[in-house]
């Protein structure tokens, strides 16, 4: 006969309690919470006698711990930013936390680019410089680098020579509907962001288009109508090295 007594030796002891308050705005308490209310969460520690003590607002640390606990159930395996196998060769850094991000690079290549009609730039294939990408679930920043080699921590970053990009490198996605869920694996994550970036239409300059030494409209008019390699001499340094964006 199998001895199962050990199965009854584990005890679950309460150590934390959450109290959720619904703040209803206005006099009509029958309205749904999503229409006219907000939520406040209070956290309690549990004393040895089982009584709740030390009431305090749910902290960020507790919120993250709770989120990780809820994601760790046997029915749901968290695959966010986890590789299917060996790490991609162009990966530079990855933080696979629930709010993490990845940093990778792409070499100089020819890509299909799309421009709105008002720019008077024909859409089509064009040679582009090597790029460094930094992305989370709902934000993307891109940078240009010179050469073909895989960058290192000391590699100089340049402004990405495109439209729709702020001085700091973050991309204005406009009306692009970004859908990257918390179970997206690393390879799909990188591929999706590249598809979003190159699959959308470039439409406007930011900061007067001062991210290149050449007029950015003229630059891409030439790139999309010729087969010349990307002229790296027109890139402008942004004052950062690669290690500055890996934080």
**pLDDT digit string, tens, across residues 70-82:** 655 544 467 899 9
Q: Are 246 and 154 in contact (CB under 8 A)?
A: no
Q: Kindly indicate the confidence band of residue 114, based on its pLDDT and cuts at 50, 70 and 90.
A: very high
Which of 45-59, 145-159, 171-185 tops mean pLDDT?
Answer: 145-159
Tens of pLDDT, residue by residue over 4-58, are 444 445 556 777 888 887 776 655 555 444 444 577 788 888 776 777 878 888 7
Q: Which residues contact 124 (CB under 8 A, 6 or more apart)?
A: 112, 113, 224, 225
Percent of the chain with pLDDT over 70: 82
So what's the pLDDT on residue 237? 96
So what's the pLDDT on residue 27? 57
Which tokens hold the place of 214?
């050449």
Cβ burial of 142 (10 Å; 0-12, 13-18, 19+) is buried
Tens of pLDDT, residue by residue over 184-231, are 999 999 999 999 999 999 999 986 767 999 999 999 999 999 999 999
The mean pLDDT of the chain is: 85
User: Would you list the domain boundaries of the chain?
Assistant: 12-58, 91-245
So what's the pLDDT on residue 70? 61
So what's the pLDDT on residue 36? 47
So what's the pLDDT on residue 8? 42
In order, the DSSP letters of the chain are ----GGGG-------EEEEEEEEE-SS-TTS-HHHHEEEEEEEEEE-TTS-EEEEEEPPHHHHHHHHHHHHTSTT----TT--SSSPPTTEEEEE-STT-EEEEEE-SEEEEEEE-GGGT---EEEEE-EEEEEE-SS-EEEEEESSSSPP-TTPEEEE--SSSB-TTSBB--TT------TT--HHHHHHHHHHHHHHSEE---SGGGTTBSS-HHHHHHHHTTS-PPP-GGGB-EEEEEHHHH--
């Amino acid at each position: 006969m199998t001895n199962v007594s050990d199965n009854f030796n584990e005890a679950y002891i309460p150590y934390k309690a959450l109290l959720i308050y619904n703040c209803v705005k206005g006099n009509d308490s029958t309205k749904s919470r999503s229409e006219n209310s907000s939520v406040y969460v209070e956290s309690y520690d549990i004393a040895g006698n089982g009584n709740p003590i030390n009431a305090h607002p749910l902290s960020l640390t507790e919120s993250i711990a709770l989120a990780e606990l809820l994601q760790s159930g046997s029915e749901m395996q968290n695959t966010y930013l986890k590789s299917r196998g060996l790490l991609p060769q162009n990966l530079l850094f990855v933080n696979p936390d629930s709010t993490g991000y990845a940093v990778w690079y792409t070499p100089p290549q020819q890509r299909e680019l799309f421009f709105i009609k008002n720019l008077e730039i024909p859409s089509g294939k064009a040679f582009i410089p090597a790029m460094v990408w930094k992305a989370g679930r709902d934000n993307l920043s891109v940078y240009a680098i010179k050469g073909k080699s895989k960058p290192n921590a000391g590699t100089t970053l340049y402004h990405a020579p495109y439209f729709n990009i702020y001085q700091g490198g973050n991309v204005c996605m406009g009306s692009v509907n970004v859908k990257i869920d918390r179970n997206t694996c690393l390879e799909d994550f990188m591929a999706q962001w590249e598809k979003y970036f190159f699959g959308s239409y470039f439409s406007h300059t930011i900061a007067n288009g001062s991210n290149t030494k050449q007029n950015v409209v003229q630059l891409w008019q030439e790139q999309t109508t010729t087969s010349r390699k990307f002229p790296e001499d027109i890139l402008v340094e942004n004052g950062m090295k690669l290690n500055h964006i890996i934080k």
